[in-house]
Structure 1
Amino acid sequence: MKIFRLLCGIGLLAVLASNVWTMSRWSESRGVYDDVCYLRQAHLFQKHGLGGIDTNIIFDDDDYLKNKLKAIGYAEWNVVARIPCHTFIPAADKYVMQYPPGTGFALALFREGFQVIPLYLLANATILAFALLALFRARDQASLALAAIFGFAALYLMINPSKASYSVPPTMMVCAAAGFLTARYFVEGLQRKLLLIALVGLLIGLSVNFRLPNLLLAAGYCFYLAGAFLLARSRETFLQGASFGIAFLIGMAPTLIANAINAGSPFSTTYGGVDVAPPELNAGVLLSYLVDVQFTLLAISAAWTAWLWRFDQGRCRQIALLVAVNLAVNLIFFMTHPIFTPYYIIPIEMISLWTLLFATLDLRGERAADRAAFPQPASA
């Protein structure tokens, strides 16, 4: 076990090294509109401090955005109404960036001109840390193999799928942490449950600042905590639900503030066009999800959830119920969204799979401990 664990750890480090080598050759000017806009938001934070949360187009007085658009060959770089990723807000008579402020703030932590690679390096290192944590929590050969396969797959996802948007790497870091803490929440005593569920709420709230649809990652938790309170009607379940809700709101406060500044109200959206179109069942969108490689991860999540549900232990079924509701709500939303983009479903896949992984490792660890404490008598 120790040698195999060591070899798996070395293998994960080798994958990380390969990722680092690949990312070291990336360019921050790859001609993608979203990239330009995220970098513009980072520029605003570096130029104005926290005041950079105001993304009014008039603050492009140093022509940062225009120069970026010209550099990628955007023909209408000087037409305000045609600038990508910006929405006209009639009530305020201004054009503002549609994205929440988290991704731009994360990029602003690094030196201008060298922001994307460090962000992805940090995300890779974080995913490696959780993969190693899973590896060293495995207590039998099957668990060790599961943790190793999961770790290799998670690190692979940090190159191709996450490259689709700068909002994905920070989201994946948050999802890994939230998945681990969710699994721990179901095995800890009452005193630590309150802290753990508050941390999960804070993390999911923070994820909203990277991608607005990450708001839906809270659905399963809200359903589970509300159900637990209605069934128990206890002070403990009320405090857990309240702690999650308050921490969640604190985590997403930057987005609420950004909405108030840019759209006129905390609950008004800066998005427009097809992003705010009503849900509809579109055969083309459904087919796109079904044939995309991300659907494999969704299928694994669903099958794994069903496998966990079959155990009679209340904790296993509670985790399975939480994950199942989260999967259902998110899938319904994205599969009725008018447009298809593969990376949209990465967050729900990641938070579900990390939760299931650590829950399974805890379950198998308990069983291994029971077998060690009460060994079966040898057969004659």
Structure 2
Amino acid sequence: MKFLKILCAIGFLVVLVSNIWSISGWIEARGVYDDICYLRQAHLFERFGLGGIDTNIAFDDDHYLKNKMKEIGYPEWNDPKRMPCHTLTPSADKYVLQYPPGTGFVLSLFPAGFQVIPLYVLTSVVAVGFLLLALTYASTLYRLMLVAAFGDCAIYLMINPTKASYSVAPTMIVCAMAGFLTAKAFMDWPRHRLFLLALIGLLLGLSVNFRLPNLFLAAGYCLYLAGAFLLARSRETFLQGLSFGTALLIGMAPTLIANAINAGGPFSTTYGSVDVVPPELNSEIVWRYVVDVQFILLTIAAVWTGLLWYFNRTRAGWVTVLVAINLAVNLIFFMTHPIFTPYYIIPIDMLSLWTLLFATLDLRADKSTFPKPANA
């Protein structure tokens, strides 16, 4: 087993080097509106420090945004009111970025003009780091094969389709960390569950600063903890829910502050048009998900959840219930959202799969291929 783990680790590192080589050839000027707008947020943080959270188009007095739009041939590059990714705040009569500030802030941590490549390299390194950690938990050949298969999937996503939006890269880091901690909280370190839930809440709150729909990553946790309290009515379950919710709110504070500055209130949105229309079940949108790689990952997560609950509900029952609720809530939201994008449900897919991976690895080794059902 030790030799096989070493071979698997070498394989992960080889793929990581290949990824880094591929990423090193990327350019930031892809001509994508979203890319430019995330880089504009980063530019504001570079110019004004934390004051860059105010994304008023009037602060483009150095013509950063205009020049970027001119470079890609945007026909209305000289009209601030026609800039992509910006919406009007009627109460303040100003145009602001629609995105939360987190992705731009993370990009601003790297040198201007060389921000995207190191962000994706970092994300790939973190993914491989957690895969190497998973290898240490693989106590049987079957679990080693599971880690190897999962690793191929996780590392692949660092290249495609994660690169479709800069906001997904930091989200993937959070998903790996939160998935690991979720499995530990419910499987391996239950005595530390209160602290771990607070840490998970903080991580998921921080993820909202990268993309607003990441708020739904926490939906299953909120419903699970609320249900646990209603069933048990205990001080312990109350404190668990309170710690998670408080940490979640603290983590997403930058977005609430940005909303207050840019949209006129912490719970007002900077998004407009189709992004804020009521949910609607559209067969075309549903079908596009069904034929996309995202749905394959979702199906794997759902089947894995069911199998883990059936065969190991004694130890893994609670974590599988949490994952199932989270998958269901996110599936309902995105399937009824009027826009399809090839990365929308990648975060919930990967959060669920990281959780299931470490939950499975935390089960005691069994001589048989599959453990017996809990009710056998």
Q: TM-score, length-normalised on structure 1? A: 0.95
**Aligned equivalents of 1:183, 1:315: Cα separation in 2:** 11
Residue in structure 2 matching 1:367, options 365, 368, 376: 365
Partner of residue 351, structure 1: 351
Cα deviation for residue 230 of structure 1 reads: 1.4
Alpha-carbon distance, 1:303 to partner = 0.4
In the alignment, the residues of structure 1 paired with residue 116 and residue 190 of structure 2 have an alpha-carbon distance, to the nearest angstrom, of 41
1:65-214 aligned within 5 A:
65-189=65-189, 191-214=191-214
Q: Which deviates the most, 49-58 or 285-294?
A: 285-294
Structure 1 residues 315, 223: closer, same or farther in 2, change over 3 A? Answer: farther
Counterpart amino acid of residue 142 in structure 1: Y
The answer to whether the 8 A contact 1:16-1:155 is kept is yes
Q: In structure 1, what is the Cα distance between the partners aligned to 2:289 and 2:22?
A: 28
What is the CA distance between 1:339 and its match in structure 2?
A: 1.1
Aligned to 1:325: 325
Tell me how far 1:312 sits from its aligned partner: 5.3
Aligned ranges 1:254-273 → 2 under 5 Å: 254-273=254-273
Letter in 2 for 1:7: L
Stretches of structure 1 that go unaligned for 5 or more consecutive residues are 372-380
| Deviation by residue 1:316-358 (Cα, 9 ceiling, x = unmatched) | 1211111111111111111111111010111000100000000
Q: How far off its partner does 1:190 sit?
A: 5.0
Distance in 2, matches of 1:190 and 1:174, equals 21
Q: Output one character per residue of 1:274-326: Cα deviation in whole Å (capped at 9) or x when no partner.
A: 00011111111011111112111011011001101213534412111111111
* Counterpart Cα distance in 2 of 1:249 and 1:288: 33
Alpha-carbon deviation of 1:187? 2.5
Q: CA deviation at 1:191?
A: 3.9
Amino acid in the other structure paired with 2:183: A
Q: What is the match of residue 41 of structure 1?
A: 41
Please give the secondary structure, in 1, of the residue aligned with 2:112: coil
> For residues 21 and 213 of structure 1, do their structure 2 counterparts lie closer, same or farther at Cα, with a shift above 3 Å needed?
same
CA distance, structure 1, for counterparts of residue 31 and residue 314 of structure 2? 51
Query: Contact 2:184 / 2:190 at 8 angstroms: preserved in 1?
Result: no
- Check whether the contact 1:132–1:151 (CA below 8 A) recurs between aligned residues: no
User: What is the aligned-residue identity percentage?
Assistant: 69
Contact 2:174 2:207 in 1 (8 A): yes
Distance 1:179 1:348, change over 3 A: same
Deviations 1:216-251 (A, max 9, x none): 011111111111111211111111110000000000
Measured in 1, the distance between the counterparts of 2:239 and 2:324 equals 24
Q: Which amino acid aligns with 1:8?
A: C
- CA deviation map 1:1-30 (0-9, x unaligned): 011100000000000000011011110101
Cα distance in 2 for residues equivalent to 1:11 and 1:220: 34
For 1:367, the aligned partner's letter is A
Whichever residue aligns with residue 158 of structure 2, its letter is: M
* Number of the residue aligned with 2:20: 20
**Is the contact between residue 96 and residue 270 of structure 2 (CA under 8 Å) also seen in structure 1?**
yes
Aligned partners of 1:176 and 1:351 also within 8 Å = yes
2:19 & 2:125 partners in 1: Cα distance? Answer: 10
> How many residue pairs get matched?
368
CA distance in 1, matches of 2:129, 2:188: 22
How big is each residue's C-alpha offset from its partner over 1:64-102, in whole Å with a ceiling of 9 and x where there is no partner?
000011111111111122100000011110000000000
> Partners in 1 of 2:39 and 2:133 — Cα distance?
33
In the alignment, the residues of structure 2 paired with residue 285 and residue 152 of structure 1 have an alpha-carbon distance, to the nearest angstrom, of: 28
User: What secondary structure does 1:96 align onto?
Assistant: strand
Query: CA-atom RMSD, angstroms?
Result: 1.2
Where does structure 2 lack aligned partners over 5 or more consecutive residues? 369-376
Name the counterpart of 2:373: none
- For 1:229 and 1:160, locate their aligned partners in 2 and report how far apart those are by CA, in whole Å: 40
In 1: Cα distance, 2:215 partner to 2:140 partner = 36
The AA in structure 2 aligned to 1:279 is: P
Cα gap change, 1:213 to 1:101, in 2 (>3 Å) = same
CA distance in 1, matches of 2:311, 2:149: 23
Contact 1:311 1:317 in 2 (8 A): no
Partner of 2:3: 3
Residue 135 of structure 1: CA displacement? 1.2
* TM-score of the pair, normalised by structure 2: 0.96
Tell me what 1:375 maps to. none
1:186 is paired with a residue whose SS is: helix
| C-alpha spacing 1:283/1:215, structure 2 compared with 1 (3 Å) | same
The question of whether the paired residues in 2 share the 8 Å contact of 1:87 and 1:98 is answered with yes
The one-letter code matched in structure 1 to 2:106 is A
Q: Secondary structure at the match of 1:87?
A: strand
Say which SS state the counterpart of residue 311 (structure 2) adopts.
coil
Q: CA deviation at 1:260?
A: 0.4
337 and 313 in structure 1: CA distance in 2 versus 1, 3 angstrom threshold: closer
